Amino acid sequence: MFNKHTLLERLRKQHPYLLEELPERIVSDGEEVAIEDATLDQIAFTILALEAEIRPLSRRMNALRELYDLARKRGALGAHRVGDTFSSEEGHS
């Protein structure tokens, strides 16, 4: 007997690296929709909702990265405290 693959399985097989994390279902207007039944608009709105969730985390990560880079430019090393790095006049702890 033949094993009939779902559309999602075929897409993942055809594009393994790009669609590996593709969900089986998305939430659109509060309802779960199978990915093969979703419209492009529903996918676009789901992307926007996910971006809204990620944006604060991305900002926090970038702020921490910037603080790290600033401290390194002031000569701080791994075990130096941030407060000590930025409280001294020359910036070295």
Query: How do residues 46-73 score in pLDDT, each as one tens digit?
Result: 999 999 999 999 999 999 999 999 999 9
- Looking at residue 61, its pLDDT comes to 97
Q: Above 60 in pLDDT, residue 78?
A: yes
**Beta-strand pair 31-34/25-28:** antiparallel
Mean pLDDT, the chain, as a whole number? Answer: 90
pLDDT over 90, % of the chain = 74
Residues 47-51: contacts with CB within 8 Å, 24+ apart?
none
Cβ pair 25, 33 in contact under 8 A: yes
- Looking at residue 2, its pLDDT comes to 57
Residue 26: CB atoms within 10 A of its CB come to: 20
- Looking at residue 38, its pLDDT comes to 96
